[in-house]
Chain A
Amino acid sequence: MPINKKPHNNISPAVLKKMYITMLRIRRVEEKIGELVRAKEIICPCHLYIGQEAIATGVCSALRKEDYVFSTHRSHGHYIAKGGDINTLMAELYGKITGCSKGRGGSMHITSPDIGFPGSSAIVTGTIPLAVGVGLSFHIREKDNVAVAFFGDGATNEGAFYESLNFAALKKLPVIFVCENNLYSTHMNISKCLSDTRIYKKAEAFKMPGVCIDGNDTIKVFEQAKKAIDFAREGKGPSLLECLTYRWRGHVGPNIDVDKGLRSEKELKSWMAKCPIKRLEAFLMKQDILSKSEKEKISKQINKEIEESLAFAEKGSFPKANELHKYVFAKDLDTKNLGKRI
């Protein structure tokens, strides 16, 4: 179906406000990380999510804690939206032992297993089969949880994407494929790499629902995600959501890539004018869900959280060099109940 233009309904003011806070938290965290990368305080490659906040927020707000989310190299937004701790995120970017991945992963490999965020991966499409596997596990164990795979438009060029859509649809697995179409696969415009740029159409070939959403409209993302999630929970199978959006910064790092001739300033400005946060904020204020004083309070609170996260990161120690080999292998399972060892 084409872009869904139906107005929102049935979203409580509390959820709407929480989504606003989450989006602003993602934005401010990413802006701060951008500054720190520019200042060479943070060295590991950071792919910033600024401009795309509505998608992670809209989808994750419709999930339960026990539902799983898989992310990509552009991972911070999904992590925060699923409820990830920004203290341990920041410490991870500094390579500290107190980081969410204990200084072994960095920006592209963050984790929070207790809240259904097993990890993010830097290989394009790499986590899509994993999300299908989580869906398979829920299916085998007859649980009504769902798995979400976030990925970019570039990922739809990989074979594993199609294998995953087919298998999930074939077995009616509870998986939501969320494509964040930000129009660029690193430097390459989508028109240069896809023979048909309507990504949501690919769902048809696998007999699953596919919708195209304005990915800068948080409420629409939430509504469509909720629909797909309910569909999956009922055992009806996967859905593909294509969310149209734009990343304000370059593929990696804090710069905007306009000077490199990779995209035009006009294009960037046109998308900045469609800021998903300003849009939701204006809506909430118009609906009297958010007051001016509350808005200021939220803003201050987030700034405070970020300051605290930096202090937390600062305070943490680096891993010891003699712990290089730690975590190559997990501890073996105790097999004593299985029978004799010889």
Chain B
Amino acid sequence: MRKLSYVKAINEALHQTIEKDKNVFLIGQGVISPWYVGATTVGLVDKFGENRIIDTPVSESGITGAAAGAALTGMRPIVMHPRMDFMYYAMDQIANQIANWHYMFGGQVNVPMTIWGIINRGGEQAAQHSQAIQAMFTHIPGLKVVMPSNPYDAKGLLISAIYDNNPVVFIDDRWLYEITGDVPKEMYTVPIGKGAIRKKGKDVTIVATSWMVQKAIEAGSILQKDGIDAEIIDIRTLKPLDETLIFKSVKKTGRLVVADAAWKTCGVAGEISALVTENIFQSLKAPIKRVTLPDTPAPMSSVLEKAYYIDADNIVKTVKSLI
């Protein structure tokens, strides 16, 4: 199959959906600027014009709400936030309006929009340009949340998000952008709400999100050499969560490590851990462990960054502490 980078896979999903459907458009701060969005939007404005590729002023609340308003008329907007940190400005629109409208009006109103948040961390960018706040959105009823970890899923989940009748928060991590993988040329969808097993194993289950899936795969190879056979689950969708897949695996392995490159307290890893203890506690042979970022703001100095960010080694060490 054809190989494509993650960044090009997103670009292709955007080109194909915007071309296919007049109701799809892209809006946000910096949608035409590589400085903001890498190469994800290359060629879009030239092909579709400024009416459908809308670069906006720095007005996160107003613009996110505007995208939602267009969705209320049946359009399928994608509103892009070049750093998740900036999305706090849009929280009223996302949490109070977008997430609630379908429920609040008894199912008569849909908000079919994609809220695209980019994690763009490292490089000494410090506390306000580095955040991974997927847990905030996962907490809110009415939002779906997806985090593709490879080029295939980036394209397939973005297309699914655009064509879902619900608001979907699509989160990508720029650390994944240069990763390459198999990506079909035609349009296809990856179902929202379904995880995938990246490596089968019997000794321990590692459930990971986004960038940490890549790190879990690396950790899996290292562990294999040491005789530990890890099963690796790429959860892909944080909400609705594929509990069945996780439970099935943990029932088999009896051990669980959850790797999520975001803060620990009240995070996605904590939620998955709680679900497993609530439902299949008797299957566990060891305590569940979380590999997450520490509960501190992102630091600047590269020495501190190294201590802050997590890697395959953290997963390896954590797994070994259980076996």
Contact = CB atoms under 8 A, between A and B. Distances in A.
A260 to B, nearest CB: 28
B239 to A, nearest CB: 10
Interface string A288-307: 00000000000000000000
Contacts of A327: 102-103, 106-107
A140 B107 contact: no
Contacts of A104: 103-106
Contacts of A335: 159-160, 163, 189
A316 B66 CA distance: 36
Interface string A166-201: 110010000000000000000000000000000000
B97 A140 contact: no
A255 to B, nearest CB: 27
Contacts of A342: 156, 188, 190-191
B92 A126 contact: yes
Contacts of B10: none
A40 interface: no
A59 B81 CA distance: 35
Given A128-B65, A137-B69, A163-B59, A101 B97 contact: no
A125 to B, nearest CB: 8
Q: Which of B57, B65, B66 has the most CB of A within 10 A?
A: B66
A130 B112 contact: no
B69 A140 contact: no
B165 A331 contact: yes
A338 B57 contact: no
A85 to B, nearest CB: 13
B102 A338 contact: no
B66 to A, nearest CB: 4
Contacts of A332: 164-166, 192
Interface stretch (A41-49, A111-119, A219-227): A111-119
A121 B66 contact: no
Given A330-B165, A335-B160, A338-B188, A118 B106 contact: no
B69 A136 contact: yes
A168 to B, nearest CB: 9
A158 B215 CA distance: 43
Contacts of B277: none
A101 B240 CA distance: 25
Interface in A117-149: 118-119, 121, 123, 126-141, 147
Contact of A333 (B25, B67, B109, B165): B165
Nearest to B99: A328
A113 B68 contact: no
B14 to A, nearest CB: 14
A202 B93 CA distance: 23
Interface stretch (B70-78, B206-214, B287-295): B70-78
A133 B69 contact: yes
A134 B187 contact: no
A329 B144 contact: yes
Contacts of B192: 332
A261 interface: no
Contact of B97 (A103, A123, A159): A123
B142 A339 contact: no
Interface in B124-173: 141-142, 144, 156, 159-160, 163-166
Contacts of B104: 101, 104-105, 109, 119
B57 A147 contact: no
A134 B70 contact: yes
Nearest to A142: B51
A332 B192 CA distance: 9
Interface in A67-102: 68, 99-102
Contacts of A333: 112, 163-165
A166 B59 CA distance: 9
Contacts of A57: none
A329 B240 CA distance: 10
B207 to A, nearest CB: 20
A320 interface: no
A340 interface: yes
Given A338-B159, A338-B187, A341-B189, A105 B65 contact: no
A137 B70 contact: yes
A190 B150 CA distance: 54
A167 B189 contact: no
B43 interface: no
B224 interface: no
B166 to A, nearest CB: 5
A137 B77 CA distance: 10
A272 interface: no
A334 B131 CA distance: 34
B56 interface: yes
B96 interface: yes
Contacts of B71: 133
Contact of A338 (B61, B69, B189): B189
Nearest to B106: A102
11 contacts: A102-B108, A119-B101, A126-B65, A133-B68, A133-B77, A134-B70, A134-B73, A137-B70, A163-B61, A333-B163, A335-B159
Closest 6 A/B residue pairs (Cβ): A133-B69, A129-B65, A102-B106, A163-B62, A339-B188, A163-B59
